[in-house]
Structures are given as structure tokens and as C-alpha cells.
Amino acid sequence: MTQDPTFKLDPRLAETTFDWGLAAPGLNLRLVNDSRWPWLLLVPQQADVVELDDLSPSALAILTKQAAILAAALRTVTGAPKTNIASLGNVVNQFHLHIIARKPDDLAGAGPVWGHGAAVPYEAGAADVLHQALLGEISPVGETT
Amino acid sequence: MTQDPTFKLDPRLAETTFDWGLAAPGLNLRLVNDSRWPWLLLVPQQADVVELDDLSPSALAILTKQAAILAAALRTVTGAPKTNIASLGNVVNQFHLHIIARKPDDLAGAGPVWGHGAAVPYEAGAADVLHQALLGEISPVGETT
């Protein structure tokens, strides 16, 4: 998908996440700054997308393909056996897809992570370590920079 | 997608939902028996699918296309402005996609519905009324039976 020049990231998403660039053209990958769970967001860079069905068929296909790739990679690099994937939008209306690595003994247990206490920001450098590990998992050797 | 003959629906999903047949070949549509929220499940009838990335590319495409169609239809027939779409699997591992109609003033407010109190079963006939309304919305005129 191509980036819509009128797209503007919701400031609540901008403030609570790290920008990890593009997962595909027009599809922004971000990390939620909450070290309790490895938690990615995919944000299509198109204005006025709120619901899954607001996306074009091609944009939806790109989104879900990248979600599947990233979910598998996130489990590999974190050792988590499970991923939660969701578009909720109960708080921030702008469409964003959550991809969250889950372990049975994590802080939310068998429950959802949304609304669970307060975020614990990453310590200096820790998010970059995760980013590099994820890039190493999804990119062919030699193309990870 | 075609149905896998070795597929067997997890009994915890069977016990808590109504069977609404097929949304597409090999893709079961179900209604969660909790009248607090209009809440659909899509269950690919394939054994050993736990994660989104366990699905084949074609099965993933069919799943997301049907999710988009059903989410839009569910908002129309319920008047809810929002849908939550998610694969979690924190409790039941067998892959199932949630499609939940949400209103800002519903019982969970801005929070997620999972783990929110106890289900309130539908009264007799109420689930069928919702089913017929949904079929009327997604099927061409004359093909709703």
C-alpha cells in the first residue's frame, strides 16, 4: 500500500511507542513502550482508516501477511509461545493492529493486556536490542541493517 | 479453504457458542452466547491451527475477507459504531477470531470484553433474530434463507 500524504499519526500512538520504520510500503511498524510485554503495532499510513473493513483488499492482504510474519518472528526472538493479534480502537480510533507476545505466566496471565495496570518503559537500549533481534529474524542474512 | 476431516471443535468453544454454519467453505461462523455484546467467532475447520501464521496464505485471505464483511454487517445490524477483531487464544488454544460489536457506553466501556464478568445468555429466540438480521445484511436479496 502507498502512504496517504494526508495521513497523520494519532499523537497518543506517537507518544507511547517507538517508530520502527516500515514493515511494508505505507505500513508503519511501532513498538509499544511497555517492557511488560513485547508489543508491536502495525499502522497503515492512510487517513480515516478506523475499521478493518475500511482497508482496501490489497491493503488488508499486506497487513495480514506482515502480521503473520511479525507474530512468528516475535515468538521466536522472545521465546513466547503465543501471540495476541487484535484491532480494538476502543481508546484510539485510528486503525492500528496489536501484535503481542504472550507467556502463560506473564503479568496478565490468561487475561488480555489492555487496561492492565501502568506501562513500564524500556530501559535505555533494551528496545533497540529487541528491534535488532526482530530484524535479524525477519530479514535475509546480509539485509538486516 | 476446505474442511480438514481431522478437525474437531474445542468443546469449550462448542459449549459457549451457537453454530451459525459456514461463512465460507471450511470456515465456521459462531455466535458467543453472551447477550451483553454481539460477538461472533470465525473458526477455520483445520486441525492444529493455533496462531494466525499457522494458516495458509489462501486460508488467511479468506478469513480476513470474511472478518471484514461480517464486522461491517454486525455494525449495521446492531447500530454499534465499532468492532473489536482479535485472535487471542489465552484460554482456548484452538484458533478462533473474535468479531465483537462495541458501543462506547457498553458494559466494558473503553476496556476489552474478555474476562469481564459472567456471560448473560440470550433469551429464547433472540440469537435467531440476530442471525436472520445478519444474513439479510450480508446476503443478496432472495438468498437469505
Q: pLDDT band for position B145 (50/70/90)?
A: very low
ipTM: 0.94
Share of chain B above pLDDT 70, in %: 96
**Residue contact A53–B64, C-beta within 8 A:** no
A85 CB within 8 Å of a chain B CB: yes
pLDDT digits over B11-45, tens only? 999 999 999 999 999 999 999 999 999 999 999 99
The whole-angstrom separation of Cα A62 and Cα A78 is: 24
A130: Cβ contacts below 8 Å, ≥ 6 apart: A31, A38, A77, A78
pLDDT mean over B81-93: 97
- Grid look-up 500512538 returns A13
Tell me which residue in A57, A68, A112 faces B53 most closely, judged by beta carbons: A68
Mean pLDDT, to the nearest integer, of B82-99?
97
Tell me whether B96 touches chain A (CB under 8 Å). no
Do B24 and B1 touch, CB atoms closer than 8 A?
yes
CB-based contact A131:A31 (threshold 8 Å): yes
Instruction: Check whether B140 has a pLDDT greater than 80.
Output: no
Q: Distance between CA atoms of A29 and A43, rounded to whole angstroms?
A: 7
List of domains in chain B: 11-103+119-138 (3.30.428.10)
Using the Cβ of B83 and the Cβ atoms of chain A, whether some distance falls under 8 Å is answered with yes
Any A CB within 8 A of B12 CB: no
Residue identified by cell 511507542 is A17
Inter-chain touch B86–A89, beta carbons under 8 Å: no
Contact between B115 and A114 using a beta-carbon 8 Å cutoff: no
Answer whether A82's CB lies under 8 Å from A64's CB: no
Which chain B residues touch A53 with a CB distance below 8 Å?
A: 68-69, 71-72
Contact A125, B124 (CB under 8 A): no
Sheet strand arrangement including A27-32: A17-24, A27-32, A39-44, A97-102, A82-87, B82-87, B97-102, B39-44, B27-32, B17-24
The minimum CA-CA distance between B87 and chain A, rounded to whole Å, is 5
What's the confidence (pLDDT) of residue B3? 78
Q: State which H helix or E strand residue A41 sits in.
A: strand A39-44
**What per-residue confidence (pLDDT) applies to B2?**
77
pLDDT in tens, A92-140: 999 999 999 999 999 999 999 999 999 999 999 999 999 999 999 998 6
